[in-house]
Structure 1
Amino acid sequence: MNADDALPRDREAGTSARAPRLSRSLLIGFGWAALTVTIFSGWFVVTRFSVTRELRIWDITALRFGIGAVLLAPAVLRPGRTLPLAAWGEGLVFMLLWGMPFVLLVALGLRLTTAAQAASITPALMPVFAGVFAWAFLRERQGRARWVGYGAIVAGMAALVAAGAAVHGAPSPAGLGALALAAAMWATYTLLYRRSGLNPIQSAALICVWSAVLFVPAYWLLGLSRFSDASAGEIALQVVYQGVLMSGVAIITFNRSVALLGSSAATAIIALLPAVASLLAVPILGEVPSLPEALAIAVIVAGVLLAARPTPDRRTSPST
């Protein structure tokens, strides 16, 4: 056998050796994304649980970033291993996109619409914004299947909002706008993070530290706290969920999924939030989706499956 005969076999062996690693990487990425979806879905339900009782969104925001900053600050403030100023500047940008302003926008949407609508609009629009931004500014090809998926997500989201309006009344335009802006900010963060030099823990820590520095002092000075009116159990629930799961675990797991799957695929999976949040709301809040709402959620899931497909190989582009 000559060298020319052996060459294709060597290539096949190299391809087969890379395939298991690729599949394992994708599976791990989907695992991180699934954990993120579970935590994020619970956030809408748990937050709705408290803001309709004694605590307010100001308390939720203070717990989320105050406790998160305490837990994660050692990752960026250890003596002898502090981050350069450029990294802190990058962290400030990340905070503006997925820190305190994002939470306050979603909170405004929750107050002006409903938990179900908020859990549908922001997560469903986020992968659409991520795909469009990546195509427009980074010249990343999305492929026909993904564009069809984005269209299905938007159609399903619109149907879900319409079905909810038939039960709860027309949603507030300001509330819808706040949720859409939050989605665009979240999508921008995913694109920027993938190209940053920060690891998931550093990014999460910087988001929490910057948010705490800018929000917590104003929170105390303005006397916004309602902790004295809430039960110890409710405060403990929010401490664990907001301060530990959302501020630390969820940001890290989401960043890992972005790194392994890519921003478009990872954000598309997050669009499963309406389905998961609706399921969690049944036993916790007693909110049972209507048949039209359930059908709209199914359309969103179908769009997610298309939007999460791998991007086309860039080598097939005519320009290369």
Structure 2
Amino acid sequence: MSPQKQGYLYVLITMCIWGGFTLTARLSANWGISAWDITALRFALAFCILLPILIYKKDTAFLWKKEPFILAMIGGVTYCLTAYSAFHYAPAAHAAIFLNGCIPLCTAFAAFLIFRQPLDKHTWISVSIMLSSIGVMSYLMYMESGVAFGLGDLLFFISAIWWGIFTVLLKQWKLSAWHAMSGVAIWSAIIFVPIYLLFFPKHWSDPEPMQLIGQVIFHGIFVVIIATLTYVEAIKRLGAFKAGSIVTLAPFIAAVLAVPLLDEPLSVAIICGLLGMGIGAIQPWKWLGRQDTLEKQLQQQKKQSE
């Protein structure tokens, strides 16, 4: 299988899990599981699984470098707290618009601000489309309810900023998928779980036991471990922007599924926002008639070797 096809396979796996993340995170909010509950429990479970493996493999030296710790604080603890909190104030469709729809843009701007990578014309076109769609959506929402945006929307956007920074740093530092995932999970557990146990209120008895167990298993194993591994591998093969753009489709699909599954509303305003943010994030015009960058590099290497 070519590196490009491998990248798309990893993206497909990540999409399935991220789509499930949107639906299950909204369910956890409906069931009374707080943001700090699910954040602490997911990383605690991942910690219990990963640390024994690292010790057995004698592969713990990388944990003492600054990169895994920084990634854990940005893409682990901080991202999870803001994203899970947002689901208590806004439905799944808003997550697709203000979180996942904004991730490619936040990634591009983070690359510019941190590493001075220039923004190309495609990014500016995306900015125009997204701002226009948000403007139309906010106007329609204001006409419908008298409120354009809420606290949940702001928290989703802040989460997109954290994830954009995380993605850029991950690409720049070139950590292996295993080290990136393990470092994020283990350092997040070491830092946040003790704080949670000492200072945060617990809501373990609010949901049904199987609801809590199911959430912890899905978010602790599938989201933390499997999706992180596949996402990092997809970035390596397709690049940060392309991988992030394709994966963005999953929450948009989940937002539509949330209508019958979670009985959430889907108004004209939300449809405008979903369409505009989806087009801006995926940038379909950029893909037409263009050869994949990775394939170009491989062909150039092949010609040089000949």
TM-score of Structure 1 vs Structure 2, range by shorter chain: 0.7 to 0.9
Which position in structure 1 is the counterpart of 2:96? 119
> Unaligned 5+ residue runs, structure 2?
298-306
Cα deviation, residue 98, structure 1: 0.5
Q: Aligned residue pairs: how many? A: 291
Task: Tell me the SS of whatever aligns to 1:41.
Answer: helix
TM-score, length of structure 2 as denominator length: 0.82
Which of 282, 298, 302 is the equivalent residue of 1:305? 282
Which of 56, 59, 63 is the equivalent residue of 2:41? 63
Task: Tell me the SS of whatever aligns to 2:283.
Answer: helix
1:296 equivalent in alignment to 2:270? no
Which of 211, 217, 221 is the equivalent residue of 2:188? 211
Which position in structure 1 is the counterpart of 2:222? 245
Which position in structure 1 is the counterpart of 2:32? 54
What one-letter code is carried by the residue in structure 1 that aligns with 2:7?
G
After TM superposition, the structure 1 = structure 2 runs for residues 1-320 of structure 1, keeping only pairs within 5 Å, are 24-78=2-56, 80-84=58-62, 87=65, 89-140=66-117, 142-160=119-137, 162-164=139-141, 170=147, 174-222=151-199, 224-306=201-283, 309=287
What one-letter code is carried by the residue in structure 2 that aligns with 1:39?
I
Cα deviation, residue 166, structure 1: 5.2
The answer (yes or no) to whether the contact 1:274–1:297 under 8 Å persists in 2 is no
The answer (yes or no) to whether the contact 2:93–2:256 under 8 Å persists in 1 is no
1:158–1:68 distance in 2 versus 1, CA, 3 Å: farther
Distance 1:168 1:277 in 2: 24
Distance 2:127 2:293 in 1: 14
Distance 2:54 2:173 in 1: 15
Distance 2:40 2:152 in 1: 22
> Unaligned 5+ residue runs, structure 1?
1-20, 315-320
The answer (yes or no) to whether the contact 1:72–1:204 under 8 Å persists in 2 is no
The answer (yes or no) to whether the contact 1:160–1:297 under 8 Å persists in 2 is no
1:66–1:228 distance in 2 versus 1, CA, 3 Å: same
Which position in structure 2 is the counterpart of 1:8? none
Cα deviation, residue 293, structure 1: 2.4
What one-letter code is carried by the residue in structure 1 that aligns with 2:6?
I
Cα deviation, residue 269, structure 1: 2.3
1:80–1:110 distance in 2 versus 1, CA, 3 Å: closer
Distance 1:125 1:188 in 2: 12
CA RMSD of aligned residues (A): 2.9
What one-letter code is carried by the residue in structure 2 that aligns with 1:293?
I
Task: Tell me the SS of whatever aligns to 1:42.
Answer: helix
The answer (yes or no) to whether the contact 1:194–1:263 under 8 Å persists in 2 is yes
What one-letter code is carried by the residue in structure 2 that aligns with 1:69?
F
Cα shift readout 1:228-282 (whole Å, capped 9, x = no counterpart): 2321220222022111111111111111111111112222223324421212212
TM-score, length of structure 1 as denominator length: 0.79
